[in-house]
Amino acid sequence: MARQAPQHSSDARLRASLWLVLERYWRQVRARPWMAALALLLPGIGNVFVFYVPPLAIARLLTMLAHDAQPSVQQLAGPVLLLSASWLGGEALWRLSSWLLARVEFHAISALYIEAMDELFAKDVGFFHENFAGSLTKRVLGYARRFEDVFDTSAMSITGNVLPVTFACVVLWRFSPWLILVLLSMLAVTFVIVRPLVRRRHALVRIREDASTALAGHVADSITNAETVRAFAREPEEATIHAKNVRDYTTKMLRSWDYQNTRVDIVTSPLYVAANTLGLIAALTLGRGHGIGIEPVFLTFSYFATATRVVWEFNRIYRVLETSLTDAAQFTELLLEPPAIVDANPVEPFKPQDTSVRFESVRFAYGTRKPLFDGFGLTIGAGEKVGLVGRSGGGKTTLTRLLLRFSDIQGGAITIGGQNIARIAQASLRDFIAVVPQEPAMFHRSITDNIRFGRPSASDAEVRRAAEMAHASEFIESMPEGYDTLVGERGVKLSGGQRQRIAIARAILKDAPILVLDEATSALDSESEKHIQQALWTLMKGRTAIVIAHRLSTVRRMDRLVVLEGGHIAEQGRHEELLASRGQYAALWEHQSGGFLQETVE
């Protein structure tokens, strides 16, 4: 029993994600009900005109010829005109339905692409640490793009078959209800026999799509880290992993195809033949027993041959819907778990009294680990510059992530200007804080775009002024395309120091009341650091600043230094006071070599 539980859980998640796909797709259909309804119905009506009305005309012609070897032109004109008019009308309806389908799908796919990104941005930062970028990209694209396959199949293959079969039943009813009973019985029998087979195939498709996602994730991961792969000469190992993933995916793909060919198709093919044979036998039996003429026999066979195509197409229709919805469900499965960090309901307007920051009896642990902070307290006054120092693992960066609500605390409170940050909108909170991380993120866009990310409404002149303050203008202007230079994915065309200067320019441009600097000058040479320290001091003037540094010389001028050790404040004070106290900070200062902390080996 224990082995079955994960499978049941997986099946339940799959069903839930599939229903969520259908609900989201149906929402897009309801957004344009009349256009969508016509797009769904017109292909079926067109099929009636093209495939079901012409046999009526031909049957009439056959009846005429059977009774009169030389019918008049006037007698022949009616059926011939009916035949041509129905074909032309059907073609016109198909063209109109294609035009409507394109517009419904255009609006729906656009909305779904936007919706997917909105859903991802609602996730907490930890979510992106747990998922490959390539895998997420595949899921987002599949979620929106697959709407086209689902809606096309619904219009062209489902209503495109249901409406004509209904029309055929109405016509055949005139001759005998038994004809309809035979037709519908064969369709029902096909459904009953094939249903368990396609359910099994659905499980194989699910396994195949999971393997496809893993393949895409590894490809994206390897490409993103191509420089590291080359630096360690690990191309053979990455190629081996890729080949393993390819074999896994293609094996599962072949298994689903073989199941289709050896199980499902082998069953549906005889059923298709049997349905048409029974239809012909029923028509001939009625003809002999009731003296029915050529017309009903011809119509019965013609309609059975056309209507029972759904027996053959049933598997194809199901396969398309199955593959499309399973692919789309790869994304909606991510939505089954709500975001870990959400805004309060309702949120309070963000109106802080000042820029002071307080950590009040904060308790926080990563997952099920021992709490890093337990009853932690720290007050940073408005306009105060505080340096957080200490060995790695003390909780310095975690404090700033909690302040930004990248993670939520399990107890206590964090306030800005006396207002609890858990009760305000995340966007309002983060607008109030400018961050320069140790490893700045760069977009594969121009330098101007990367700096302007700090404040999208900034003018070109403001962007250049921020770059000058960050001492980035010198290297930017030396580039062939200057501020229009593309920095490459993750900024690979720039050095570490250049990326940090652009990140500092971005923070300068944002001009936020609170600054968080996490080793903001760690990748700079001594000369550049000297200039940027001046720019940062200018930027910090009148603002609350939290500065993390391992290089103690960069924070010695702070208003206060807080030494963190294992999630606790070991000591705090000004640089001179801490040196005089001969405590942990003094020991760290003495152990520096070239301005960096030496990590002790435990």
How would you write 414-460 as a 3-class SS string?
EEECCEEHHHECHHHHHHCEEEECCCCCCCCCEHHHHHHCCCCCCCH
φ, ψ of residue 372 to 5 degrees: the values are -75, -45
Higher-pLDDT residue of 442 and 287 is 442
DSSP line for 97-138:
HHHHHHHHHHHHHHHHHHHHHHHHHTS-HHHHHSS-HHHHHH
Q: Could you tell me which of 332, 420, 409, 439 has the C-alpha nearest to residue 567? A: 409
The string over 73-89, giving b where at least 16 C-beta atoms fall within 10 Å of a residue's C-beta and e elsewhere, is: eeeeeebeebbeebbeb
pLDDT at 592: 67
DSSP line for 138-197:
HHHHHHHHHHHHHHHHIIIIIHHHHHHHHHHHHHHHTT-HHHHHHHHHHHHHHHHHHHHH
Instruction: Provide the residue type at 207 as one letter.
Output: I
Contact present, 269 and 316 (Cβ < 8 Å): no
Compute the average pLDDT of residues 409-419.
Answer: 93
Q: How many CB atoms lie within 10 A of CB 232?
A: 11
Contact present, 172 and 299 (Cβ < 8 Å): yes
Angle, CA 404 vertex, CA 419 and CA 532 arms, to 5°: 115
Residue 355 in tokens: 């820029």
- Return all residues near 151 (Cβ < 8 A) that are at least 6 apart: 25, 29, 39, 101, 104, 105, 108
d(CA 163, CA 7): 39
Is the confidence at residue 242, as pLDDT, over 70?
Answer: yes
d(CA 568, CA 340): 26
Contact present, 375 and 349 (Cβ < 8 Å): no
Domain chopping of the chain, boundaries: 9-175, 352-424+559-595, 440-542
Is the confidence at residue 363, as pLDDT, over 90?
Answer: yes
pLDDT at 597: 43
Angle, CA 378 vertex, CA 339 and CA 129 arms, to 5°: 30
User: pTM of the predicted model, to two decimals?
Assistant: 0.70
The string over 288-326, giving b where at least 16 C-beta atoms fall within 10 Å of a residue's C-beta and e elsewhere, is: eeeebeebbbbbbbbbbbbbbbbbbbbbbbbbbbbbbbb
E strand or H helix at 69: none
Q: Could you tell me which of 313, 100, 287, 93 has the C-alpha nearest to residue 178? A: 287
What kind of architecture, by CATH, is found in domain 440-542? 3-Layer(aba) Sandwich (3.40)
Equal fold, 352-424+559-595 vs 440-542: yes
Contact present, 358 and 421 (Cβ < 8 Å): no
Compute the average pLDDT of residues 375-384.
Answer: 92
Across the chain, what does the average pLDDT equal?
A: 82
Compute the average pLDDT of residues 545-551.
Answer: 86
E strand or H helix at 357: strand 357-364
- Return all residues near 21 (Cβ < 8 A) that are at least 6 apart: 143, 325, 328, 329, 332
Under CATH, which number does the domain 352-424+559-595 receive?
A: 3.40.50.300
What do you get for the CA distance between the two ends of the chain, in Å? 45
pLDDT at 531: 65
Is the confidence at residue 522, as pLDDT, over 70?
Answer: no
pLDDT at 339: 81
Compute the average pLDDT of residues 228-237.
Answer: 76
pLDDT at 541: 81
Q: How many CB atoms lie within 10 A of CB 378?
A: 19
pLDDT at 526: 65
DSSP state of 354: S
- Return all residues near 3 (Cβ < 8 A) that are at least 6 apart: none
Instruction: Provide the residue type at 170 as one letter.
Output: V
Q: Could you tell me which of 150, 166, 98 has the C-alpha nearest to residue 310? A: 166
Is the confidence at residue 95, as pLDDT, over 70?
Answer: yes
Residue 525 in tokens: 């040479």
Contact present, 472 and 553 (Cβ < 8 Å): no
Q: How far is CA 593 from the centre of its chain?
A: 47
State how far the alpha carbon of 255 is from the alpha carbons of 201, 206, 213, 247, 296, in Å. Answer: 9, 12, 17, 12, 45
Q: Which of 23-37, 290-304, 410-424 has the lowest mean pLDDT?
A: 290-304
Compute the average pLDDT of residues 374-379.
Answer: 92
Instruction: Give pLDDT tens digits for 33-66.
Output: 999 999 999 998 988 888 888 888 787 777 777 6
d(CA 507, CA 499): 12
Q: If pLDDT is split at 50, 70 and 90, which confidence band does 249 have?
A: confident
